[in-house]
Amino acid sequence: MRFVKESVFKASPERVFAFHELPDAFERLMPPWEDATIIQKADISVIGSQAIFDTKILGLITVRWVAEHTAFEPQRMFEDTQVSGPFKNWRHRHIITPHADGAMLRDEVEYEPPMWFLGTLAAPFAVVPKLEKMFDYRHEVTRKWCESDEN
């Protein structure tokens, strides 16, 4: 399955990329409604670097999510892949490209839900709305930082 979120920012591609390199970017991008605890942050520029956090599924079951950085192209793209966690497979590419109005951020997520065909049947109702809400939040946080004169 595939999920894509795109947003245009009135900021340079370098500035949008710089946001993702902030030491606290992961914390900033974690929506406040997510019941998650960050165990370890990753350095996006280091292939093999791992982000580890505990999250809850359905608000009840705690799952440890380990994501490893598997690709890094400075000022253009970085990628993380789930090593272990709630999905059968998960690959997330963060792509930043020049745009006439500044920069385009494109989040591409390729994933396979758990529970075989039941997970696939439930994804449009259980996974997709959650991804939409989460990435809307993440892009808004990124926009505020990138388009602010205070940083």
Which homologous superfamily does the CATH classification assign to the domain defined by 2-146?
Answer: START domain (3.30.530.20)
Convert the pLDDT of each residue in 131-147 to its tens digit: 999 999 999 999 999 99
Predicted confidence (pLDDT) at residue 128 exceeds the cutoff of 90:
no
Non-local (6+) Cβ contacts of 151 within 8 A are 145
Question: What residue type is 111 in one-letter code?
Answer: Y
Domain residue spans of the chain: 2-146
Q: What is the CA radius of gyration of the chain?
A: 15
Convert the pLDDT of each residue in 25-35 to its tens digit: 999 999 999 88
Predicted confidence (pLDDT) at residue 119 exceeds the cutoff of 70:
no
The pLDDT of 35-62, averaged and rounded, is 91
pLDDT of residue 34: 87
